[in-house]
Amino acid sequence: MAATRIDGKAFAAELRQRIADQVAALKAEHGVTPGLAVVLVGEDPASQIYVRSKNKQTVEAGMNSFEHRLPADATQAELLALIGRLNADREVHGILVQLPLPDHIDEAEVINAISVKKDVDGFTVANAGRLATGQRAMVPCTPLGCLMLLRDLLGDLSGKEAVVIGRSNIVGKPMAALLTAESATVTVAHSRTVDLPAVVRRADIVVAAVGRPQMVKGDWIKPGATVIDVGINRTEDGLVGDVDYDAVAAVAGAVTPVPGGVGPMTIACLLANTLTACCRSNGLPDPKGLVA
């Protein structure tokens, strides 16, 4: 029996509608409109596509969208000055600096210049530390989207054995922290893991986030396991994930496709985080169903 195809695109559309409804209520009841500022440095084609999509979906959700574009040769001081102005702007509740940045700019310094309260990517050291220690934090968008899909499909994750393949600061580490907070038993696997297939085969939940096309094979998967494929790899055959979808779908209980799985959840969760940041900055309760 083939695995359930987890439709991230449909879930994200429903999530964006819930966000739009809560934004409308926030405006009506408190006169507040969430605002997201996106900063793009340079002319990277993929980044430009992402920024256009973020702008469109922000406006569709009823939020204010502020777009700032700097040339590729903009100095680090110019970028930091812009972030300083956005930190001080009361109309801006979320700040996202589109990555990657040009080589002459220190990515870590720029990210950590963003106000912790406006860090809707959840990338600052302060938010990463809060998440790791179980405190209230802004959670990175992709892991938050993965968690929402898992909760929707499985309900209580307590006691599940989870393997996260990949240890990046953007996905792997925060995903492991989120699953730990859900009382799952979590293993973080990576390129140095001995007998990776055997480690993965133990898991009730597999989150693949390594950036290697179709690396996770069908015989790596425990029958009935839930597999979340975070990978987006461009190949001669088009976009593929880190999971060999057809082979894994023959064994797993449920699996996300690429495209149409985790990808759409990332921008939806960016909007969720912007709404959360707006509520917190105005001393209001967190929005319902949108936080980890």
Instruction: Report d(CA 207, CA 82) in Å as an integer.
Output: 36
Phi (first) and psi of residue 39, to 5 degrees: -110, 125
**Which H or E element spans position 214?**
none
Active site (catalytic) residues: 54, 98, 121
Residue 26: inside a domain, yes or no?
Answer: no
How many domains are there within the chain?
A: 2
Q: Which amino acid is at 69?
A: R
CATH no. for residue 67?
3.40.50.10860
Positions of the chain with pLDDT under 70: 1
Instruction: Report d(CA 158, CA 182) in Å as an integer.
Output: 6
> What separation, in Å, do the N-terminal and C-terminal C-alpha atoms of the chain show?
32
Tokens 């009361």, residue located:
90
Instruction: Report d(CA 252, CA 264) in Å as an integer.
Output: 22
User: Would you state the pLDDT for residue 187?
Assistant: 98
User: Would you state the pLDDT for residue 2?
Assistant: 84
Residue 63: inside a domain, yes or no?
Answer: yes
Helices assigned H by DSSP within 209-253? 245-249
User: Would you state the pLDDT for residue 191?
Assistant: 86
Bridge partners for 39 per DSSP: 68, 97
Q: 226 and 185: one domain?
A: yes
Is the pTM above the cut of 0.85? yes
Looking at 117, 149, 170, the residue that finishes a domain is: 117
Domain that holds residue 89: 33-117
User: Would you state the pLDDT for residue 1?
Assistant: 66
Q: 105 and 149: one domain?
A: no
Helices assigned H by DSSP within 104-188? 107-113, 125-132, 141-154, 172-181
3-state secondary structure of 199: helix
Tokens 């963003």, residue located:
114
Look at the alpha carbons of 110, 111, 113, 115 in this order and tell me if their dihedral is positive or negative: positive
3-state secondary structure of 70: strand
